[in-house]
Structures are given as C-alpha cells and as structure tokens.
Structure 1
Amino acid sequence: MIISFKDKMPSVPESAFIAGSADLIGDVRAGENCSFWFNVTVRADIAPVIIGDNTNIQDNSVVHVGHNVPAIIGSNVTIGHNAIIHACTIEDGSLIGMGAIILDYALIGKESIVGAGALITGKKKFPPRSLIMGSPARLVRELTQEEVEGIYNNTASYVEILSEYR
C-alpha cells in the first residue's frame, strides 16, 4: 500500500513491484525495477528513504529513518528477509543478509556483504567490498571478485522475476 504522510507521497516508478501486503509511507523515493516484497514496511515519515535502481527489499523487512537522518539504499542492493535498516547508508551492489540490523549513521561500503543476523551498531563504517559478520559486527575480510559478481547476479534474478508477479 502506498500511504501519504504530511503531504509526502511515495514516488515509485511503474517498473517497480510492490507486494499487496507491503507498505510504503511518506517520502519514499524508489528507483527503476525495485521490488518491495511481502510484509515490507518502508516508513519515511520524518526524513526521506532513497532507494536506487534494481534494489529488492525482501519479506518482513523494515526500513525507517531518524530525525532528519535519511535511509539511503543504493542501486543493485539486496535486503534479505527480516532485516531492519534504520537511518543508515548502504552503497551500491551490497547484500544485507536475513535478519541483519543496521543502525543510525552506519555506512556499508559499495559491494559489501552483511552476514545473516549481523548487528551493525550506530555510526559504524565499513569500506567497499567488506564481508561483515557478527553481533556486534566486524570486518572479516575483503570480498573476492566472484563474491561481488554473485551479489549482482542475485539482484538481476529479482529484476527478472518481477514480470511474473505483475
């Protein structure tokens, strides 16, 4: 469902997919071919949520903002099931594992993987191509080229499946 808040209406292109049980609220700005799967909530009530092209936010995930702190999610990003993304920045080509939590002012560098169940505490910053795991999360190592290609293959598969849901 698309819901306005204080005269702000989500901006979602026709190429996007929004599952019937997903809610986009307020100043949400989504890119081309994004997908918002079942029971997703993206709430941009007190700051914007900006989402790049080809990004998928999977079932039961929540994206929210802080007071004047946006949530920025780049292009070609996968947000796994049950993730919580709060007032942080996730750069292009990253994969956020199932059940991960990323808190205010955190930065996930381009082409990184956040492991399932990881807890990224507030203001934590990770460089590009990081493998991030644990609670609290830590940098494990740099990703290989093969792992980075896997991220892009995953996001491409979500773009491909969109037509089957229309």
Structure 2
Amino acid sequence: MKLDASIFVHPSAVLHGNVTVGKYSSIWANAVIRADFNTIAIGRYTNIQDHATIHCSPTNPTVIGDFVTAAHSSIMHACTVGNRVMIGMGATILDGARIGDGTMIAANALVRENMNVPPNSLVVGVPGRILEGKGRPEFIEQNAISYYVLSRKYMEGVDSISPAELLSLMQKFEAQD
C-alpha cells in the first residue's frame, strides 16, 4: 500500500489490505483499518481517531468521504459515509448503511444495517433515531480542519499545540481555502 506523503499515520495504527486514503487525512493511535475482504476508501482531510475500527465485508466495501471525523473508538463496517460527517465516540455504523453529507452520528449511537440517513441529520440512540435537519456541517468541517492542523504538527515532531495556536492555524487554513 502506498500512501501520499501528506497523510499522517500514527506508528501504532494498522492499515491492511486494499485501503486508499485521500490527501491530508490522518490515522491516529491504535486505529485499525482492515480491507481483507473488499476495499476501504477514505477521502481527503478525514481523521480516523484513536481506537477507531474500519472494516468491510465480502459484499460491501467501506467508503468514507472528505472532511469526516471518525471519533475515538467508533466502528464503521461495510458502510458508506458522505462528506462532512462526524461519527461520535463509540458510535457504530453497520453493513449497508448510508450516511448523508453533513450528518452527525452521536456518541455511542447505533446505525443499523442498511439504514439510510438523509443529509444534514443527527442520529441518536440505540437503535439510532434520525433527527432530520439537525446536522451541523460547518462545525463538522471545523473539527476536521483542527485534526488536519494537529496532524501537520505531529509530522513536524511537535506533539502538543496550544488552543490559541490551533485557532490561529485553522484561520490561516480557512483563509487559503
């Protein structure tokens, strides 16, 4: 597997099989991305945080869009995740589920098999309940940008950043865009 030099992969992360990762994305400590049955495609500026697990099935690949945050200990299995999506800590997305752009999956929520979540929604609870029109795409993109900025610092050998410096670097990023 060949990854672009712009991608940050923590040394303890595991990427196995037919995995592609878009430019400027980051894979954090102890994340596991295993494409042993099918393909996994991760978009640009996407962050896969600590202990997140991404897998596929023989019948379904996993596709994750641009500017996605997959928070700590989240699980994505053989599903499709749109752009500017936030998957909360401990949330699980099961086989065949489709998550629309600008959607937030709450912490510990369960997105059931083959569930279709419309764009700009919020999914809460177990099993997941869809609240349409409650997504926050601007907030989601800001979070993805903050992880992009943090990953650049890690790549420079800096392992912490002040809130003021983070905000300043995020503003510079947005001014370029």
Give the TM-score taking structure 2 as reference length: 0.85
Question: 1:130 aligned to 2:125?
Answer: no
Instruction: Give the corresponding residue for 1:110.
Output: 101
Rg: which structure is higher?
2
Report 1:39-118 matches (<5 A). Answer: 39-118=30-109
How far apart are the structure 2 equivalents of 1:65 and 1:120?
Answer: 15
One-letter amino acid of the counterpart of residue 144, structure 2: T
How far apart are the structure 2 equivalents of 1:68 and 1:119?
Answer: 21
How far apart are the structure 2 equivalents of 1:149 and 1:82?
Answer: 23
Instruction: Give the corresponding residue for 1:6.
Output: none
How far apart are the structure 2 equivalents of 1:133 and 1:113?
Answer: 9
Question: 1:156 aligned to 2:142?
Answer: no
How far apart are the structure 2 equivalents of 1:148 and 1:106?
Answer: 20
CA-CA distance at 1:140 after TM superposition: 2.0
Instruction: Give the corresponding residue for 2:110.
Output: 119
CA-CA distance at 1:101 after TM superposition: 0.5
Question: 1:21 is matched with which residue: 6, 12, 27?
Answer: 12
How far apart are the structure 1 equivalents of 2:132 and 2:94?
Answer: 21
Aligned residues: CA RMSD: 0.9
Runs of 4+ residues deviating >2 angstroms: none
Identity of aligned residues (%): 39
Aligned length in residues: 155
Gaps of 5+ in 2: 156-177
Question: 1:35 aligned to 2:26?
Answer: yes
Secondary structure of 1:54 counterpart: coil
Gaps of 5+ in 1: 1-8
Give the TM-score taking structure 1 as reference length: 0.91
CA-CA distance at 1:13 after TM superposition: 1.1
